[in-house]
Structure 1
Amino acid sequence: METKGKKRLLNVIMVLLILVIAASGVLTVGKIRGWFDKPEETVVSAGTTKGVVNIQRNGIGYTLNADSALQGNDLVETKKGAEAELDWTDQGKLELNEKSEVVLTACEKEQSEVQVNKGEVFGDMLKQSGTFDVAFAGNTAHLSGAVFSVSVQSGSSSLNLYAGDISILLADGTQERVEAGEYLSVTDSSDGSSSYQIQKMQAASLNEFLINQVQSCDSSKDLCFTPEDLQKVLDDRAAEKQAALEAAMNAEKIPSEEKKEAESDNKEQESEAQSETETENGESEEDQNSVEEYTPEDTGDDGGSGGSSNICTITIRCDTILDNLNNLDAGKEAYVPSNGVILATSSVEFEDGETVFDVLNRVCEYAGIQIEYSWTPLYNSYYIEGINNLYEFDCGNESGWMYKVNGWFPNYGCSSYTLKDGDDIVWCYTCNGLGADVGGGMS
């Protein structure tokens, strides 16, 4: 009996030790992750995140989730295709572009400091009441009451000021002032020195990330650029991109008349060269003409184009996902464009007999858009599984890709639909109603 009692006691002690160890682990993790922080103590918290965003705290790294409380010396890192928002309670926010890394070196109500190690950040601190400093590449900018962006790349860095009037302590110990509409560029030399230059900003110099942030920030009405200025830049770039894409896709399809002219010019040059050679060899004009008679006649072949060229338009969009982000699989946000358009409407040449699948596949190849498909023997057609890394069921159990031509959703596969001149193709991603949210399917 005594032996059984000792064993029972040892088991109880062992269970208690395990519970104590588990509780200690939970408390440690909770303290590191800020689970027990009081709301009134939180100065900075994570806002919306897109893609893979990591945080390092006290040497421990883990995924940063929305609404997580941040502390001093936290390091936040965004991976490729990811973005993150850091919120200062009711006073401002900092947006991190992809492949960026920042450290919250100070995180108090009246004093905040962020160090940008690499990448690009956009900040709206126009309403910040305390001090807000940003350190980058050895320089420190005092950015309370300002809207700005900072970029740190290998060998260079820059600061754009969209609103406010700030001072910057440069790495060489001197100070500079930057006004709204100006930017500071810093270029590093191989000898370790840096050169500084302050110039006027141009809207056309901003990338898409910065334009989107400027357009959507709370202080957009107070900035040096108007929404119309920025939208014109986006529209011009989209038009240039479309023109370049269409030119690349259609480069190999030279119109028949141009080909015939080119062939005719080549034949004339060959004939002249042949005449000169034969004259030098002592042949008569009559001999030259006799050779001309054996030249094969033009058969009307246009160089293997396989027939006349036709024009269709094609668009690829997934804007329905923007209204269903809560159903989107984790990590897929990085593949959803901010406006939901993967490929703006593009004009494409095609030949007689080509299908919707042929044009889609060719366009994705030229535009660098990921596509995956499989052959379905039952329907004797190709099935589109994914475009731009967005697949069936990625945004709910009714989600996937559909296509329509001239506003009609065919009830057969895309490689069974033979195109006609002037057709308008739209590939759209449906999330709900088996296509009802894009104008087809079932409600």
Structure 2
Amino acid sequence: METKGKKRLLNIIMVLLILVIAASGVLTVGKIQGWFDKPEDICVTSGQTKGVVNIQRNGIGYTLNADSRLQTGDLIETKKGAQAELIWKDQEKLILNEKSEVTLTACDADKNELQVSAGEVFGDMQQQKGTFDVAFAGNTAQLSGAVFSVSVQSGSSSLNLYAGDISILLADGTQERVEAGEYLSVTNSSDGTSSCQIQKMQPASLNEFLISQAQSCASSKDLCFTPEELQKVLDDRAAEKQTALENALNAEKIPADNKKDMKSDKNEQESEAQSEAETDGSEADDQNSMEEYTPEEAGDSSSGESSNICTITIRCDTILDNLDNLDAGKEAYVPSNGVILATSSVEFEDGETVFDVLNRVCEYAGIQLEYSWTPLYSSYYVEGINNLYEFDCGNESGWMYKVNGWFPNYGCSSYTLENGDDIVWCYTCNGLGADVGGPTY
């Protein structure tokens, strides 16, 4: 009986120790993540995040999620293709672009300070009641009541002011004032000295991230640039990009002596892809076989034959309505308007297919494309475009194509194009194509 009593006592002690250890773990994690902070002590929270965003607190790093409570000393870091939103009590916001690093050096109701160590941030602090100071590259700007952006790159840094009138304490101890519509640029020399200039801003000098934030911020009507001016910059750039892409796609063909028989080359590439799929089941990643057949080799501009023209569009806008189902990290590959490739006119040769045009367009435009050969259907199957794959946004999601509004029921490399065809590649999330106008099953 005495032995049983000792064992029971030891078991009780063991259970108590486990509970103490578990409780200590919960308390430690809770303290680090701010679970026990009083509401009045919370000054900043994280808003929406896109892509991979990390937070480092007390030497411990973890993923930053939406609605996290932030503290003095927190370091926020955005990876490539990521963005993060920090929100203050009065709904003032700071948006971090990709590859940015920011540290909250002071965070309370009356005083807020942060250090921008790398990257680019956009802030709307026009309604901020307390002080709001931003340090960058040794300079400190008093930005309460302002709309601004700060960029810190290797060897240089800059501050754009879209609304407000601010004071900046420079690294050399001198003071400068910047008004709305001006920007301060600081250049560091190899000898450790720096020089600064204050100049007038132009809308065309802003990148897409800054224009997007300026258009959507709460103070957009009070900025030095009108929404129409900013939109014109985006439209002009889109038109230039579209023209450059179409010029590249429709470049002059090479001389006829170098052309090969299109049909035999195409059959050879399909045979090679099928052989690879049968031997190791791997994807047709090697595009060397694809490069044997190009429109330059297939046609001759001096032959006098008229060119065929088709249009192609690649879009994934359905994902914007289903972001809750999107795999983590994939947000970085979804354009804000859902359009991966705007409608583009492309020349093609007789006998070319939907797949041939897609493959060529993606190569020229630098759009990631992954596909595999399907022996059963003797066709290529498109698995991913722009790093968005089948099942990335639900178990009914994936890529589909339509030509002239019709969704063919066979593979894209089996659909031979005709002059004037309109190709649209669209990503379906629900109903196996029902959400993009496809057939219902």
**Counterpart in the other structure of 2:404:** 406
Q: Does the alignment pair 1:422 with 2:420?
A: yes
CA deviation after TM superposition for structure 1 residue 307, in Å: 6.4
Q: Which residue of 1 aligns with 2:102?
A: 102
Matched ranges for 1:197-236 at <5 A? 197-236=197-236
TM-score (norm 2): 0.88
Matched with 2:286 is none
SS in 1 for 2:211: helix
CA contact 1:91–1:129 (8 Å) conserved in 2: no
Question: Which residue is 2:124 aligned to?
Answer: 124
Query: How far apart are the structure 1 equivalents of 2:101 and 2:252?
Result: 44
Q: Report how far residue 346 of structure 1 moved.
A: 1.0
Indicate if the aligned counterparts of 1:94 and 1:121 stay in contact, CA closer than 8 A.
yes
The correspondence for 2:390, drawn from 392, 402, 422, is 392
Residue in structure 1 matched with residue 325 of structure 2 by the alignment: 327
Q: How far apart, CA to CA, are the structure 2 residues paired with 1:25 and 1:222?
A: 49
The 3-state SS of whatever aligns with 2:112 is strand
Per the TM alignment, residue 5 of structure 1 is displaced from its structure 2 partner at its CA by: 1.4
Q: CA deviation at 1:324?
A: 0.9
Output the CA distance in 2 between the equivalents of 1:437 and 1:229.
35
Encode CA deviations 1:28-81: one digit per residue, 9 max, x unaligned: 011001112222321100000000000000000000000000000100000000
Deviates more, 1:427-436 or 1:95-104: 427-436
Q: Distance in 1 between matches of 2:217 and 2:18?
A: 50
Tell whether the 8 Å contact from 2:76 to 2:102 is kept in structure 1 after alignment: yes
1:312 is aligned to: 310
Are the equivalent residues in 2 in contact too, given 1:102–1:118 (CA < 8 A)?
A: yes
- CA deviations on 1:117-162 (whole Å, 9 max, x unpaired) are 0000000000001100000000000000000000000000000000
Give the superposition deviation at 1:7: 2.0
In structure 2, what residue type is equivalent to 1:211? I
Summarize the alignment of residues 339-358 of structure 1 with structure 2, pairs less than 5 Å apart.
339-358=337-356
Identity of aligned residues (%): 86
Read off the aligned partner of 1:321 and give its amino acid letter.
I
Residue-by-residue CA offset, 1:164-205 (whole Å, 9 max, x unaligned): 000000000001000000000000001100000000001111
Following the alignment from structure 1 to structure 2, what is the Cα–Cα distance between the partners of residues 438 and 224? 40
Runs of at least 5 residues in structure 2 that lack an aligned partner in the other structure = 257-298
Q: Secondary structure at the match of 1:409?
A: coil
Shift of 1:377: 2.0
Rounded Cα–Cα distance in structure 1 between residues aligned with 2:303 and 2:18: 76
Residue 255 of structure 1 and its aligned partner are, at CA, apart by 10
1:150–1:160 contact (8 Å) kept in structure 2:
yes
Is residue 252–residue 301 contact of structure 2 (8 Å, CA) maintained in 1? no
8 A contact 1:76–1:101 mirrored in 2: yes
- SS of equivalent to 1:421: coil
Task: Quote the residue 1:86 is aligned against.
Answer: 86
User: Is the 1:318–1:340 Cα contact (8 Å) retained in structure 2?
Assistant: yes
- Of 429, 432, 435, the residue aligned with 2:430 is 432
**Where does structure 1 lack aligned partners over 5 or more consecutive residues?**
257-300
Q: Which is further off, 70-79 or 88-97? A: 88-97
The within-5 A match list for 1:251-400 is 251-253=251-253, 302=300, 308-400=306-398
In structure 2, the residue matched to 1:297 is: none
Residue identity opposite 1:421 in structure 2: N
Give deviations 1:86-140, integer Å, cap 9, x for gaps: 0001240100000000000000011100100000000000000110000000000
Secondary structure in 2 matching 1:239: helix
Contact 2:76 2:101 in 1 (8 A): yes
Partner of 1:59: 59
Tell me, in whole angstroms, the C-alpha distance in 1 between the residues paired with 2:158 and 2:438.
49
Q: Secondary structure at the match of 1:133?
A: strand
Aligned residue for 1:339, secondary structure, equals coil
- Which whole-Å CA distance do the structure 2 matches of 1:131 and 1:157 have between them? 22
Rounded to whole Å, the distance in 1 between the matches of 2:255 and 2:317 is 36
What is the identity, as a one-letter code, of the residue corresponding to 1:151? S
Matched residue SS, 2:364: helix
TM-score, normalised to structure 1, is 0.87
In 1, the alpha carbon distance for the partners of 2:303 and 2:151 equals 49
Please tell me whether the aligned partners of residues 255 and 309 of structure 1 are also in contact (alpha carbons under 8 angstroms): no
Alignment-derived partner of residue 142 in structure 1 = 142
Kept in 2: contact 1:147–1:161 (CA 8 A): yes
**Residue aligned with 2:160, SS:** strand
Higher radius of gyration, 1 or 2 = 1
Matched AA of 1:347: S
Sort the Cα spacing of 1:130 and 1:303 in 2 relative to 1 into closer, same or farther, 3 A: closer
* Counterpart position of 2:68: 68
Letter in 1 for 2:97: N
Whether the 8 Å CA contact 1:435–1:441 is kept in 2: the answer is yes
Matched letter for residue 179 of structure 1: E
